[in-house]
Structures are given as structure tokens and as C-alpha cells.
Structure 1
Amino acid sequence: MPTLNWIGKEKVVSHHQDVPYRVLEHKYGFTADPSAGLGREHTEPINSGNKIIHGDNLEALKSLLPEYEGKIKCIYIDPPYNTGNESWVYNDNVNHPKIKKWLGEVVGKDGEDLTRHDKWLCMMYPRLKLLHKLLADDGAIFISIDDNEQANLKLICDEIFGARNFVTNLIWRSADSSNNDAKQFSIDYNHTLIYSKDFGWQPYKLERTEDNNAHYKNPDNDPNGPWFMGNLSSPNPRPNLTYILVSPNGTLIKPPKNGWRWSKERMEEMIESKEVIFSSDQSKIIKKTYLKDQSGIVPSNIWWDLEDSGHNRNAKYELIKIFNELKTSDIFKTPKPTKFVEKILKISSNKNSIILDSFAGSATTAHAVLNLNKQDGGNRKFIVIEMEDYANDVTAERVKRVAKGYGSPPTPEGGEKNKKWVEGTGGSFDFYELGLALFDENQNLNEHVGLEKIREYIWFSETRTSFTEPNGENYFLGKKDESAYYFIYEKDRLTTLDYDSLELIKTKGEQYVIYADNCLLPKEFMAKKNIIFKKIPRDITRF
């Protein structure tokens, strides 16, 4: 398999392992009442599963691993396209001060010689590595990009996700009209590369439309209803399937150019069962595909219908309508329309899926999730990450307005104002900032993080389940699958697992996993009692 090399690659291929694990600091929760067009912020976490995170997406992705590794059904990202344009806040020439600082720390002096393509690849590679870890085995990632980095992105995704897990290059018509002022060619479309976690991933079918169904007719009044003439020809040349069929009246029916799709034995079975029939003059055979048997349509990899998938100008109008007092068009030059992301979610998620977007921008992905949940009563969850300072004022604010409703406020008498009001979708979320690193520079536990966050991390690392602080038992973390977990830790002194400390163990289990600084219990005794000792901090899992 061909691989891509660039200056700095050797410094970043394993960098995702060295990224510090930072805790998420809860800032506020938000709930919406769309019936009243109102929203409310809460001090305590809402715990709805929807998260908006402000911070470097590399570190934020790392912070998600304990709870979400292997659980994300669909990832959609719209990263910087690396066009060289630096005229707007979310610049895509990879010269953001945070990125430059990061490159200097990770890549070192080599970073001085990096081209913008090298920088972009250094920035993307570790993020894609973490996204791969978060993706579920039955999940898929969708990455929008243009021609500046499409070829490079394809090669590094082949390396990270596996070339056999490449699904397709989805072509989306992003412009609603051609640009006659273009210097060479009008750029009317973007790429969206799709990769699955495991080979064999299948997208969900899209709903059938009236246009799809219009191809099915019933000229012979078939009692099974409208039908469409199916293809009997092999998609590839099949010399061994070039047999001749004989109709009941003796007419010889020659095979198609590539041969028949099925063997002669299978074809005869289909004729016998009337899955395949002879035409009225018996000069050809027909395979009927019935409309009643069609549950949906397989998605195409060309999305050219502007009404069906939206376009960039449409997305700008959408933002202007939501933020009538904010100049979002100055920030987001080519936003994605919610229709486009909704269609992605329809083919890649179900009603209970978790969807992740680590380049959140104006929160189109979160908006699309809320729209779909309203449409079909789903319970999809979104996690979106934005590193820019507008994470709260734009990213989160859009979700608030979409959830509670926006536009001219509804009035009892109706009229023009009601026509301009967009009803809220409902929904809630928690807003987080990236906090302190869990481990200090010496790889010891950072006690400034707080014991609650440390205990939560230990529990996640062991069980991959949500943590609820137990009551009444010191050091006890919880019980799962008949295993009892204890974290014997004190800020100001070393702790020891010995016979005396076993008196702290009140919850019975088939197995005990106990963290402490030291252990004085004999190995034979621990084996007999099914005790697993883990040393602090050495044996704490590093994500």
C-alpha cells in the first residue's frame, strides 16, 4: 500500500499517545422549552448526553476516550481545507497561534521548514488517530475536504483506517451556480471521504421518493402491483455464463454481452418460480422487481440535487436567519447546510446513535441532530468540539436558538411575526471547558484536578461506564459484573493494601480490583481471594 511521507511525520505518528488527558470542567447546562420559545441555563449538569466542548480538539478528543472509545456511530468533520486563505477567524492556512505553538513543541526545529501542506498533515494525523479510536466497530467517519488536500487526506486515512475500509468519495454540489469569474475552472463541488471502522460497513437506505417510485409500472395488471424490469446481465464479462435459453415455443434466447447474472441451474429455478418470466412473444426473458418489495434506496455517491442536500449559499442564509444580529457570514465563508449533514446522519446513524464533530464551527452537526430527533422522535446524542473563542457565543448559542426557537417571537394573534418564527426542536446540552491534566509532568496524579475527577477516570478506565459517586463507603468506586472496585488514595500520605485495609472492603464481589500505593498482601492470599492489586499511579490506564 502506498504511504505518504512529509516533514515532521515521524514526530506525530504516535503523538496521540503523548497528548495529556485533561478533565472536562462543566460550565453550565441548558434546557429548552420550545412550546414557550424559551431556554434556561443550569448550574448543575443536565446529563442529557449532548456535549459542547470548548478547547483544543486534540486534547478534547483524548478526554473523551474513557467514556466513548469505540462508541461513536457517526463522525462528521469539516476540517480546514488548507486553501491558504487567512482572512477569517477560522483560518485554514494552519497558522493559528495554537497550532503554531503545538507544532513548535511537538515537531521542533523541523517545523521551521514545514510547508503549509506539511503543517496540515501534522495537525490532522494525530486527530484522525484519536477519531479512529472513538469510532464504533459498526461506525463510519465522513470528512469534507476540497482539492487542496483531498489526495493527501486519502493517503493518511488509508494508513489510519485501512485502505480496505475506504467506502467512497462522496461528491456534493456545494455551489448553487457556476462562478464565471473563476480564473480557470468554477469549483462547484466538494469531496467527502467516507471510511468505516471495519470492512463490510453498510449505510442505511434512504427513503424512497415519488420520483423513485415513478419508474415502476404495471402494464400487464400483475396482481403483485407495479414492477420494474430488473437487470439479468452480469456486471462483468462471464464467459462461463454465456449459455442459450430456450423458451416454451422453442425460441432461442441469446445471453447478454457479459453473460447472464446467474448460473443455468439458478436461472431455471427462477423461471420455475416465476421470478423470471418470458415476454408475450417469448423472444426474451424478464425479471420483475416489484415496488412492494422495495424498502428504500441505496445512497448515491453523487449528491447533486440542491433542494435535497442544500448548498453553501443556502447554509449562509440559514446562519443569517438564526443570528440576525451577529455577522456570522464574516466568520464562516463556506458553512455546511443542515440538509447535507442530516442526509449523512440518515445513512450512518440510528435513533440512539452518538454523533461526533470535532471541528464544530457554527454547530451545523448539532443542529442536524436536533432536527432529525424532532422529525422521527429519535434520541441521537451529539458531541461537538470547537477551539475558537466563539465556542459559547456562536457554537453553543446556535444550539440554544435552534432548540428553543428563533426568529420573530410568536404572538397570540399570529400574523406576520408568527410566519417568521422557526419552532424549536427541543433538546438540552452541557457546556464544558478543557480543564487540568490528570497527570503532572512526572506522571503522578495531579491532585489539583480534584479527587472526584480522579475517581471518575479510574472507574471509566476499568468499566467504560458512567460513574455515579457511591454513598457511605470510603474508597469504594462501584460494582460491575460482580467485580468490586476500590481506589485507596489519600492526598497527603501513602496508602497500603494489607490485612488491616481489607476491613475497608464492605461490598462483596466475585473479584476485587483494588488501587493503592503499595501492597503487602501475599500473592497466594490474593489469588485465593480473587484480589487484583493495581499500583498508583503506575497501573492507572493511560488513554
Structure 2
Amino acid sequence: MAAINDLVNQISDVRLRARLSEEVAYLAKKKKFGLVFEEHLPEKTLLYNSELKVGMTVCYKNKSVDDTYLVTDINDNEVTLRNLKTGELFSEEKRKVVQIRRFGEAVFPMLKHVDSVQKGSKDAAWHMLIEADNYHALQLLDYLYPGEVDCIYIDPPYNTGSRDWKYNNSFVDSNDEWRHSKWLAFMKRRLELAKKLLKPDDSVLIIAIDDNELFALGMLLEELFKGSERQIIDITINPKGKARDQRLSQVDEYLLVVYLGNGGAQEIIDGGELEEIRWPYLRRSEASSVRSSRKNQFYPIYVDDETKKIVKIGEPIPKEVDRNSVPQIKGCTAVFPVTEENVEMIWGLTGPSLQLAVDGDYVQVNFNKKNKFQPYTIKYVTAPSIEKVENGDYSVVGRRDDGSKIVVSTQSSSKRKTTVWKKNLYDANKYGTQIVSSIIKNKQFPFPKSLYAVHDTLKSFLSNKKDALVVDFFAGSGTTLHALNLLNFEDGGNRRGILVTNNEVSSREETDLLDKGYLPGDDVWEDNGICRSVTWPRVKHSILGVDTAGVPIDGNYFLDKYRMESKKRTVKQIDYISPSKVTTVAQKKKIISLLGTQRIPSTKLVSSGAFAIDDEKPTAILFDLSYEEEWYQELEGKDNVTEVLIVTEDKSAFKRISEKSIEILGTKDSYSQEERAMSEGFKSNCEYFSLDFLNKDDVELGNEFESILPILWAKSGCVGMRPENVEDVDFIFPIESNFSVLINEYAFAQFKEEMKNHVGIEYVYIVTNSNDAFSEMASEFSGVNSYQLYKDYLDNFMIQGAVK
């Protein structure tokens, strides 16, 4: 603009220069930098649930929303309409038209109960599914939960041109030259409302998207969330790839993440890379560690024979004192470090050091039937390893049945996930489409997200928020709530989800239904809509654990929890080769080479040729039994070794060395992913509502209290059973809930007295037209959230309607 101003200033005609300067200033004011798109006319919504009344504006259900009519008369199944463009009056079938509202007009919503499912406790917080255009649903949610939402996760239409979304009641396809700006206008209006829901100081917005609108959406978010940090996550959802003509095969999609305030990714352990640290045996095994070598490390450890836990650590005893002479404790065994050959050794820790490990649950005790001299083996976590737990290099991921901690190394895995996600469980076909099909038997849904991709997304940002409020206003097949229930089951969380979706049918279904004479609003049409035929059935039946035919759901969930399995090392006798015939290093290397370098490279054969062992490879082989002690020393700490080969024809020698080798190496602990039968469902509750609208005058007159009551229940946190059938009472205290309503202000004294009998009331709603009376009554209840009805409700939606 500076160059234009310079050129304008060069104009000698004063009046022309001034006039042009005004026009340039006007253009500069209107000029928009950054993301530029056509805002389009405001969207319109069709209110199929609304009962037609005289004075309403309507349009045809299956025609353009730009052609509107005024209802002037209603006679049974016919309506008289006036064309708002031409003024023409005519009659039409009532079922063919529907009330229409333009976005921005004041609306007064209500939640109309459709269905519910309860498998959790009655007093638990409930999830919600709202069938509605998400714009109006967001207006309601802005009233219910302003600045209270921890996470919004949405999977909006990708705008590929495949007629998978509507703008003003018409499918948008690839031939629409305005489809990109329509999509941006559509998203902007909803994101502006969604922003009001998020906690400004600690929340995240997550949007799943592909490359069609990735960059435009990124610029839109930059405009709407100025000052907030953003990241792009690349997630592989189709490992086989999607063929694209003359383009690279597409295997991934993206998550755009916006961090508000302190909102951020949480430190979590990637279970796929867990590796438990080695717990060495407490009894020293090297020949030099006999009893006389350390005077403070030969002492009794008293193990309770029933619980198999250490109850006392005795004092060291002098070498001249018989170990069998120490005092005994009833019900316990005094354990000393003694080999199978009755050789007295020493413990690997002093008594005080062992006590610290016991106190920290870093000690394991196991019965040892092979050693009558030491009937219990004891393993422990070393002091350096405990220090690594404390500084975060190692992590505790659970406990064994005996209470000892499960400690894993996290050095090879990220504490936070990276921005590139790839896991077999993210396959959208196998863990999205197939899971939906296992629940819903008579309906297809295109491209549902992998349950585990959404689960990991929520966990990455909400693992430390077990009471988080999560909103998804493009709910689709309901994956978000399914994933939220799975996450809550895994970590005992009480996160609550709110899903919003319309009840549109697909383009193909719309054509088919119209050909059969059905219209939107007809039962057959609505029963085929996404909310009623996919979203709700999935939510309901995944909680119950049965499919839509009532049969237990087949299959298991893969949990983000891991079960430790201890397996013995494999020891094999190589007796078909005579040691006397394998004497040279070259011969032994040739035998090792037959095993393959993945098991043990021949270069790992020691110079003497006695054995081959490595710090990383799984196989160790012993050729020369005269190096038995050296072999044992080398085995110490080799947790990687899972297979031991002993070349000998002597069975007794093999038995002796194999048992000693297994004792030194111990069992190999590995992890397998825990599973849960889908048929078990979830201990969860969910209410299914459709969004309807009320008449402002009826609300003001107090004629719609029961219609507004579900909104009060939702605003109070959806705690306990939703109250209903409230008639002719002065006040209510819903059972097992956290709110109360004073309906008749003249009964305030009784209401105030009754409040004393209800602990845990957090929300109080008072019906009164007097602001002063409300303030006076509300002042009697400190520490609760008080709202004036119906003023608070009406004012909120009048203000929203005034905002363009």
C-alpha cells in the first residue's frame, strides 16, 4: 500500500488526490491479509423437529433453502404459504415443508430425550450425545460449559469433492468452484464458537485432516488462535496406501493441534518399547564371594512362609558362628546365601541397603525347591537402577502380585510421543471399519477412524486429566466416545465426553429415499440418518458389550497395559558333536557360523576357544567345560541371553552347568499386551438427546420448565440420573445429583431449610423475575454456583443471536 500512497501523492490535482486517497484508505481498510476466502451468506438450518405454526418461515425439504415462504394458515395436513419473493399465496402438503432459521437469529434450544444407556453407577457423571446441527449445538454448549472444556477432538469433512458434506442443505462436490471457501466459512463459524468452550489457560484443540485442506486450515487456526502454539502430527492410517493417479500412494493423515495456555502433550510410556530392567540375584555367585570375604554380608533374611515376603533382616553373624544357631521366627524361614552344594556365600547387599530396597518394593522373593540349603531365591533392584527410577531414566509401570514394582527402561523410548505416529493399531480399516462392523450389523459407515489412533490421541494429551471434559462436534461413527471409555477403563479415569452429530443420510441414500417418496423428517428417512443408525447404536452397544442383534460382540480390545511374563531360558545339550573332535578355534567358529550371526557371531568366540558370548545376541555356547567358572562369570548380567548351548556328552555335567547357568541368568521377563473382551462392555452411562427449540414467550411465562430441565442437569455436570416428570412442586432436589431448583420463589424459606439436608449441592437455579430478589436469595448459599431463571437462559441466547 505504501507504493500506491506514494503514487497518489504525486498527483497535482488536489481534489483528485484527496478523493483517491479516501478510496485507497477505504480499500486498505477492507483489504485482508493472510488467509483470504469468501465468507458467503450465513448458513441456514432446517428444524425438522419443529411443529409448524402460523408466522413461521419455511422452505421445501428437498429444494433450495434460498426459496422461502411464510406460513399464513394451517389446516390439518395442508399449509397456506406466501412466497416471500413474489407474494403469491398457495396451498401445499404440510409434510413437504420445514421451518428454516438463518444462523445468527436468536434461538432458544432444549434437549429432547431420545434414549439412554446405563451400565455405570447411578451417581456417576454421564456422557451425552446430541443429535443436531453442530452450529446450534455449539451455541448451547457455550451456555453450558464456557471455558470448561479440556479437549476438543474433531474429524470434520475433508472436502475432497466426494459429496460427503452439505452447505445450506446441498451436498458440496468437486464441480463447486466455491467449495474451498464454503468449507472455510463453514469451519470458521464453528471454530469461533468452539474456542469459547476451551479452558483458555490449559486445553487443546485437535483436528484430524488430510492434505486437501491442511494448509488452509492451518492458516485459519493461526487467525483464530493468535498467540497459541500449534503442531502437526503425521499419523499412518492406511499402511497399504491409497492409490492416487500419477501421485504418491497416500498412507497418512494429519492431526493439527492447538495448545491453549499450559495445555500440552503428556509424558507417557510407549508400551511397544517397554523393556524391564534386570533384577540380579541377591546371593553372589562368583567363587571369590564366599562367606569369609565380607563380614557384613552374611546374615539371615526372615521370609514369611505364607506371604513369601521379607519380614525381618537379621544382623551379620561372625564366620565362626553356625548359621543354624540364629534365632528363629515362628512361621518364617531364616534364609542364608548358600549354594546347592552347601557352600556359604555372601549377599550382594549389606543389611541396611537391603532394607532400603525392601521398603521401596524393589525386592522379589521366590520359592526355590531345587536348593534345600537356600529354600528362597531373592532378587533386587540395584542402587544405581533405583536412582535412575528417581531421576526419570527408568519408570515404574505397575506391580507384581507380591507388591514388587515393575521397573522398565525408557531410555530407548520417548517420554512424549513424537510428531510422527506409526503403529499397526492405527490401521483405519482393521481397527476402524471392522470394529464398527462388529457392532452394527446392517449399516456401513465410510472411513471411521481407528479406535486406537483416537485413544492414543486422547491419552497423549489427557493422561494426567482423569476428570477431563472432551467435546467432539463432528462425531461421525462415535469413535471418540468409544476411545474415551477405553481410556477410562485402562487408567480408572472419569473423563466425560460430549458428542454432537447431525442425522444426515449419505448422498446415495438421499437419492434412493427420494426416489421412494420419502422426505427428511419421515421416520424411514430419520432412521437411516447417521446419528440414529450409526453413532448411537455404536455408543450404546459398545457400552453394553452386545451388537445390534443382541449377540455378544466378538473380538478383544488391545489395552495400553502390559502383562509381564517370566520365561525360563532355553538350555540345550549338544551331544552329537564330540568335544574331542572340536579342538581348534577354526573348528569352533565353523560350528558357530552354522547358528547364524543373528544368534551369535563367530567373532564372539573368546581367544581360548572355550565359549562364545555377547552383550547383545541371544545365544551363548560353551565348548570347554574346564572353563566352567569363567563361563559363569561371563554369564553374570547377560540378560540378553535366552538360549544356552553346552557341547558335552556328559549328562551329569550338562545338568550341573545348565542349572547353574539358569540360576545366574534367572528368568527372562517379557511383556505382552493385555486384552479385554469387547463383550464385557464398559461401566459407563450416556444420554442421547435431539436438539429442539422453544418459544421465547413460553419460556418467560414459565411454561417450559420441564423442557429446560435437561439443560440444567447438563449445566450442572450431568451427575446422577436425569430428573423428569416434575409437576406441581415448589422446588426439586434430584436424587443422587448435585443441583437443586427453586421453582416457586415464595417457597424460599422451605427451600433454604431443605438445602441443609442435601450435601454436595454445587448448583442452585432460582426462578424469579426480580434481579434483587435473586441476588438476595443467592447470597444465602455460599460456595455454590447460582443462576437466575429464566433470565440467565434467555439473556444468553438473545445475546448470541445478536452476534453476527
Band the TM-score falls in, shorter-chain normalisation: 0.5 to 0.7
Counterpart of 1:120 in structure 2 is: 183
Alignment partners' CA distance in 1, 2:678 and 2:764: 53
Give the residue type in structure 1 aligned to 2:205: I
Q: Paired residue for 1:153, among 217, 222, 239?
A: 217
The answer for the alignment partner of 1:203 in structure 2 is 265
**1:175 and 1:312 in contact (8 A); partners too:** yes
User: CA offsets per residue over residues 414-445 of structure 1, 9 Å max, x none?
Assistant: xxxxx9963212311111011114647xxx95
Q: Which shows bigger deviation, 343-352 or 473-482?
A: 473-482
Question: Within 1, Cα distance between the matches of 2:134 and 2:251?
Answer: 29
Deviation at 1:127, TM superposition (A): 0.7
Q: Which secondary structure state, in structure 2, belongs to the residue aligned with residue 406 of structure 1?
A: coil
* Residue identity matched to 2:134: N
**1:20 is the counterpart of 2:107:** yes
CA distance in 1, matches of 2:799, 2:500: 22
Q: Which amino acid aligns with 1:385?
A: V
In the alignment, structure 1 segments of 5+ residues that lack a partner are 35-44, 101-111, 229-287, 412-418, 490-495, 518-533
TM superposition score normalised by structure 2: 0.44
Counterpart code for 1:509: E
Offset at 1:214? 8.1
Alpha-carbon separation, structure 1, partners of 2:148 and 2:778: 30
Aligned residue for 1:52, secondary structure, equals strand
Establish whether residue 372 from structure 1 lines up as the match of residue 532 from structure 2: no
* Shift in alpha-carbon separation, 1:195–1:215, aligned structure 2, 3 A: farther
2:497 to 369, 377, 382: 382
Distance, in Å, in 2 between the alignment partners of 1:356 and 1:448 is 31
Identify if the C-alpha distance between structure 1 residues 355 and 226 changes in structure 2 by more than 3 Å, giving closer, same or farther: same
**Distance change in 2, residues 1:157/1:536 (3 Å):** closer
Higher relative contact order (CA 8 A, sep 6+): 1
Structure 2 counterpart of 1:60 = 137
Residue in 2 that maps onto 1:468: 740
Q: How far 1:85 sits from its partner (Å)? A: 0.4
The answer as to whether partners of 2:467 and 2:493 remain within 8 angstroms in 1 is yes
Equivalence for 1:264: none
Matches of 1:316 and 1:193, distance apart in 2 = 23
Contact 1:33/1:404 (CA < 8 Å) preserved in 2? Answer: no
Checking the alignment, whether the CA contact within 8 Å between 2:145 and 2:715 is kept in structure 1 is no
Q: 1:46-195 alignment to 2 at 5 Å? A: 48-86=125-163, 91-92=164-165, 94-95=166-167, 97=169, 115-137=178-200, 138-162=202-226, 164-179=227-242, 182-195=245-258
* Separation of aligned partners in 2, 1:542 and 1:9: 23
Identity percentage of aligned residues: 23
Moved more, 182-191 or 289-298: 289-298
Choose which of 529, 532, 535 in structure 2 pairs with 1:395.
Answer: 535
Say whether the 8 Å CA contact 1:216–1:291 is kept in structure 2: no
> One-letter code of the match for 1:178?
G
Task: Please say which of residues 167-176 and 471-480 is displaced more in the overlay.
Answer: 471-480
Deviations 1:49-70 (A, max 9, x none): 3101101011011111222111
Of the three residues 483, 488, 494, the one matched with 2:768 is 488
3-state secondary structure, aligned to 1:393 = helix
Q: Which residue number in structure 2 is paired with residue 291 of structure 1? A: 394
Letter aligned with residue 488 of structure 1: T
Structure 1 CA distance, aligned partners of 2:419 and 2:683?
A: 32
TM-score, structure 1 as length reference: 0.63
Displacement of 1:7 in angstroms is 1.3
1:265-284 → structure 2 map (5 Å cutoff): none
Structure 1 distance, partners of 2:279, 2:157, is: 48
Which sections of structure 2, spanning at least 5 residues, go unmatched?
A: 1-31, 44-101, 281-380, 397-408, 504-528, 554-675, 720-737
Q: Which amino acid aligns with 1:338?
A: L
Give the superposed CA RMSD.
4.9
Q: What aligned pairs does 1:413-428 form with structure 2 within 5 A after superposition?
A: 422-428=679-685
3-state secondary structure, aligned to 2:741: coil
Partner of 1:268: none
Out of 448, 453, 458, the residue aligned to residue 345 of structure 1 is: 458
Q: Does 1:314 align with 2:431?
A: yes
Pair 1:391–1:454, CA change in 2 (3 A): closer
Q: 1:61 to 1:535 in 2, by over 3 A?
A: closer
Matched, 1:326 2:442: yes
Partner residue, 1:405: 545
C-alpha distance 299-474 of structure 1, shift in aligned 2 (>3 A): farther
Whole-angstrom CA distance in 1 between matches of 2:793 and 2:120:
46
Distance 1:209 1:17, change over 3 A: same
Q: Choose from 780, 784, 798 the match for 1:509.
A: 780
Residue aligned with 2:162, SS: coil
Instruction: Find the residue that maps to 2:475 and give its secondary structure.
Output: coil
8 Å Cα contact 1:57-1:387 kept in structure 2: yes
Residue in 1 aligned with 2:420? 302
Q: Distance in 2 between matches of 1:459 and 1:372?
A: 25
Q: CA deviation at 1:17?
A: 6.2
What CA distance in whole angstroms lies between the structure 2 residues aligned with 1:19 and 1:171?
40
Question: What is the rounded CA distance, in whole Å, between the counterparts of 1:380 and 1:72 in structure 2?
Answer: 11
Question: Cα 1:484–1:225, aligned 2, differ >3 Å: closer, same or farther?
Answer: closer
Q: CA deviation at 1:346?
A: 0.6
Q: Which has the larger radius of gyration?
A: 2
Instruction: For residue 27 of structure 1, report the CA deviation from its aligned partner.
Output: 2.4
When residues 504 and 78 of structure 1 are mapped into structure 2, their CA distance, relative to the original with a 3 A threshold, is: closer
Q: Quickly say closer, same or farther: Cα 1:141–1:449, change in 2 above 3 A.
A: farther
SS at match of 1:371: helix
Q: Are residues 21 and 173 of structure 1, via their aligned partners in 2, closer, same or farther at CA, if it must alter by over 3 Å?
A: farther
Displacement of 1:166 after TM fit? 3.2
Tell whether the 8 Å contact from 1:176 to 1:313 is kept in structure 2 after alignment: no
2:150 is paired with a residue whose SS is strand
Amino acid at match of 1:153: L
| Superposition pairs of residues 431-442 of structure 1, within 5 angstroms | 431-437=688-694, 439=696
Within 2, Cα distance between the matches of 1:32 and 1:483?
Answer: 26
State the alpha-carbon separation in 1 of the partners of residues 212 and 536 from structure 2.
Answer: 30
Residue 457 of structure 1, CA deviation: 6.9
Amino acid of the structure 2 residue aligned with 1:225 = S
CA distance in 2, matches of 1:516, 1:302: 50
Give 1:488 shift: 2.7
